[in-house]
Structures are given as structure tokens and as C-alpha cells.
């Protein structure tokens, strides 16, 4: 059977792009013919893609097209999809609510708003909607989908078999490194990370806060964060910007604890990455975070910054406790193995009548 995928574009190192590539491998291993179609040709990508114009040759009501959706589609794409006779399933990766971008990045504000308003239209075009978390699937039900499912993002350790950048490892030797990985975006509440670190720095003068993620198109927000750092006179806060995969591996290696204050996550791939690299995860209990952590990690329900700092201080001092947390996380990580996600994919396809 033909089961193809559509994503507006692909880019190297992007979690969704890796997920699309991984799904293609799974679908082909199941014996299906599977290609990836992108509206914008990718500059570099983890998998080869084709243009939507090429789809006409293979289009058929017998096919299934998996549509990856994480912000919004162009009018041209929507019109193209509406005209396809193929069966369609939406795979929803979450849209950050527009309110987080108001006054910070109006382009994202409008794009996110447009995306939310497109969900209702997409629910009419597709026969099912899959979220990569129960949280995302719930959003689809609210938007009108009757048939929903959960297809988690698979964690493939082979994608992380990269030698860490030695230079980065030397710059930030482990000991008291608090790490957060994720693009600098208001929903991830970097300001709360900084305030918690302010208190930790008083308890542990040798602590560092490593904020690893792209600052692209978030100038105003980054200005706010850097001004906050200056006003609080807190040292050793590092914004790395976008980093290479080798540098990312190095940051995870030198990190001692992963801290998230994010208020909105659709899944949280860095949580899985932290589990893989053996960093205990301390996270604000919100949206999809508890679901991804499952029965592992440490969460808190209120942002009491001093108390969070005391918790980090405790974990940094207590190696046996850290290892206990990490052991639980390693068990949880197995639930996102390629094999388990493949079984889940087979179940979801079976629900659609695919053998």
C-alpha cells in the first residue's frame, strides 16, 4: 500500500523532521511504499523528499497521506490537500498558543492563530487525527476530530551516536551545570529558569545555567531575558544559540541536571534526550510534560523559584539520588523505543483498515 507523508519542509536536527524520517523507515519496513512530500524543498534534511507536483502521478483514493501539522499550512497547500482523493490522516505536533507571542513576535502570533483556525478545516478533510501525545490528541478532539489516536515520537538512540564536541566539554566541565535545551520561545519561560538560577547561584557559586537553543526571530524576548540577567546581577548564564549536533551531545554530557519551567509543550523531545544522557529531569508540571515523563523524573506544581533552587542544590549534592532518578527515567525511555512506536503505528493503521 502507498502511505506517504507531507510536511511543509524538513530540516536537519529538527525533531519533527527526524520523526518524519523515522516513520518513513518504519512504513517501508512494513512493506508499504512511502515517500515524503514537502512544499518547500529542504536545504538539508534527514531524508529525501519530493515536490507535491510529483504526487499527482501516485495519487489514489487507495492511498493514505499522513499530514504533519505544527504551525499552519499555506492556502496553496490547503487547496492542494482538499483536491486530493487520497485518504488523509493528520499528525498533530502542537501549535504554541498565539498568546505567548503577543507583543514579542507578531508574525508567529498571526501564524499560530491561523494554524488554530485551520484545525477545524483539517478535521473535515481528514478521516483521523493522531497526536504525538494524549495532550495533543485532546486538542484534536476539541477541534472536531471524532477518530483520534496517539503516536508518540520514537527515540532512536542511533541518532545520538555522535562524538561530543571536546571544546564545549572543556569550556563547561560538569559539577554544577543546570541545562535546558529548547528554542528560546516565551512558552518555555526562560525567565523562570533565570530566577530559579539566581537563587541556586547563592547556594552554589560554581553553578552554571546552560540555555541551549536557537534564538532565531525572538530578538525582543532575548533582549528581555538578557536585561533580566543584568538587573538580577546573576553570572554564568549562557545562551548558546543554535548548536551543532556534536555540541548538543557535549552539552548533555556536561549537564548535571535538566530543568524545565516550560508552560506549554506538545511532547518534549529534550526530556527524552535528557533521559538518554542520564540527566535527572526537574520540570514544571504542565501540558504534555507529565505524560512524557510518565512515572519518572521530578515535577513541581508551583513555580516557587527558591524551592526549585533548593531542589536542584539537593540533586547536585546527592549522587545516589540522582542515579535513582536516572534509573527510573531510563526505564521510561524504553516506552519510546523505535520498536514500541512501530507497534503503535501498526495498531493505528489497523484501525484504519490497513493490514
Which residues make up the interface to other proteins (CB under 8 A)? 98-99, 101-107, 109-110, 113, 191-192, 194-195, 198-199, 202-203, 215-217, 219-220, 222-224, 227-228, 231-232, 241, 285, 290, 293-302, 304-307, 310-311, 313-314, 321, 324-325, 327-328
H-only helix segments in 150-204: 166-171, 190-203
- Here the contacts of 136-145 (C-beta below 8 Å, separation 24 or greater) are 136/92, 136/93, 136/94, 136/266, 136/267, 136/288, 137/92, 139/92, 139/94, 140/90, 140/92, 143/119, 144/119, 144/120, 145/90
Rank residues 30 and 222 by Cβ distance to other proteins and give the closer one: 222
Q: How far is the CB of 320 from other proteins (least distance, A)?
A: 11
Q: Residue 353: CB partners within 8 Å, gap ≥ 6?
A: none
Q: Are 132 and 348 in contact (CB under 8 A)?
A: no
Q: How far is the CB of 307 from other proteins (least distance, A)?
A: 6
Q: How far is the CB of 14 from other proteins (least distance, A)?
A: 18
Rank residues 146 and 334 by Cβ distance to other proteins and give the closer one: 334
Q: How far is the CB of 272 from other proteins (least distance, A)?
A: 16
Rank residues 52 and 290 by Cβ distance to other proteins and give the closer one: 290
Q: How far is the CB of 287 from other proteins (least distance, A)?
A: 14
φ, ψ for residue 72, nearest 5 deg = -165, 160
Rank residues 60 and 227 by Cβ distance to other proteins and give the closer one: 227
**What does the alpha-carbon distance between residue 60 and residue 301 come to, in Å, rounded to a whole number?**
49
H-only helix segments in the chain: 15-29, 75-83, 106-125, 134-143, 166-171, 190-203, 219-232, 245-254, 269-277, 289-293, 305-317, 319-333, 338-351
Q: Quickly count: other Cβ atoms within 10 Å of residue 236's Cβ.
A: 17
Torsion angle of alpha carbons 302, 308, 310, 311, nearest 10°? 100
Q: How far is the CB of 52 from other proteins (least distance, A)?
A: 27
Q: Are 129 and 89 in contact (CB under 8 A)?
A: yes
Rank residues 52 and 278 by Cβ distance to other proteins and give the closer one: 278
Q: How far is the CB of 75 from other proteins (least distance, A)?
A: 15
Rank residues 46 and 328 by Cβ distance to other proteins and give the closer one: 328
Torsion angle of alpha carbons 31, 37, 43, 44, nearest 10°? -20
**What does the alpha-carbon distance between residue 263 and residue 186 come to, in Å, rounded to a whole number?**
9
Q: How far is the CB of 246 from other proteins (least distance, A)?
A: 18
Give the residue from 318, 252, 332 showing the smallest Cα distance to 289: 332
Angle between helices 190-203 and 219-232 (to 10 degrees): 20
Rank residues 229 and 345 by Cβ distance to other proteins and give the closer one: 229
Q: How far is the CB of 7 from other proteins (least distance, A)?
A: 24
Rank residues 160 and 224 by Cβ distance to other proteins and give the closer one: 224
Rank residues 128 and 210 by Cβ distance to other proteins and give the closer one: 210
Amino acid at each position: 500500500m502507498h502511505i506517504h507523508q507531507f510536511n511543509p519542509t524538513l530540516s536537519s536536527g529538527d525533531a519533527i523532521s527526524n520523526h518524519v524520517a523515522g516513520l518513513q523507515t518504519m512504513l517501508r519496513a512494513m512493506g508499504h511504499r512511502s515517500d515524503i512530500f514537502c512544499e518547500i524543498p529542504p536545504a538539508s534534511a534527514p531524508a529525501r523528499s519530493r515536490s507535491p507536483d510529483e504526487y499527482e502521478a501516485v495519487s489514489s483514493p487507495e492511498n493514505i497521506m499522513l499530514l504533519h501539522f505544527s504551525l499552519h499550512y499555506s492556502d496553496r497547500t490547503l487547496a492542494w490537500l482538499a483536491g486530493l482523493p487520497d485518504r488523509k490522516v493528520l499528525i498533530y505536533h502542537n501549535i504554541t498558543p498565539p498568546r505567548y507571542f503577543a507583543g514579542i513576535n507578531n508574525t508567529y502570533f498571526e501564524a499560530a492563530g491561523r494554524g488554530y483556525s485551520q484545525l477545524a478545516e483539517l478535521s473535515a478533510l481528514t478521516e483521523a487525527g493522531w497526536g504525538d501525545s494524549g495532550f495533543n490528541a485532546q486538542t484534536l478532539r476539541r477541534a472536531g476530530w471524532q477518530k483520534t489516536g496517539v503516536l508518540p515520537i520514537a527515540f532512536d538512540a542511533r541518532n545520538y551516536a555522535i562524538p561530543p564536541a571536546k571544546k564545549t566539554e572543556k569550556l563547561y566541565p560538569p559539577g554544577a551545570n543546570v541545562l535546558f535545551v529548547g528554542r528560546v520561545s516565551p512558552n518555555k519561560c526562560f525567565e523562570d529558569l533565570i530566577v530559579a538560577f539566581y537563587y541556586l547561584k547563592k547556594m552554589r557559586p560554581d553553578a552554571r545555567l546552560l540555555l541551549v537553543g536557537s534564538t532565531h526571530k525572538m530578538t525582543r524576548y532575548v533582549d528581555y531575558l538578557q536585561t533580566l540577567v543584568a538587573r538580577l546581577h546573576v553570572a554564568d548564564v549562557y545562551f548558546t544559540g543554535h548548536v551543532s549536533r556534536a555540541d548538543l551531545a557535549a552539552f548533555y554530557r556536561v549537564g548535571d541536571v535538566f530543568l524545565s519551567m516550560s508552560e506549554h509543550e506538545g511532547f518534549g523531545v529534550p526530556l527524552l534526550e535528557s533521559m538518554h544522557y542520564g540527566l535527572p529531569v526537574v520540570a514544571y508540571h504542565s501540558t504534555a510534560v507529565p505524560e512524557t515523563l510518565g512515572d519518572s523524573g521530578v515535577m513541581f506544581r508551583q513555580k516557587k523559584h527558591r524551592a526549585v533552587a533548593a531542589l536542584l542544590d539537593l540533586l547536585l549534592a546527592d549522587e545516589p539520588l540522582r542515579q535513582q532518578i536516572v534509573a527510573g527515567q531510563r526505564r521510561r525511555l524504553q516506552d519510546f523505543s523505535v520498536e514500541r512506536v512501530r507497534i503503535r503505528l501498526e495498531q493505528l493503521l489497523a484501525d484504519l483498515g490497513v493490514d
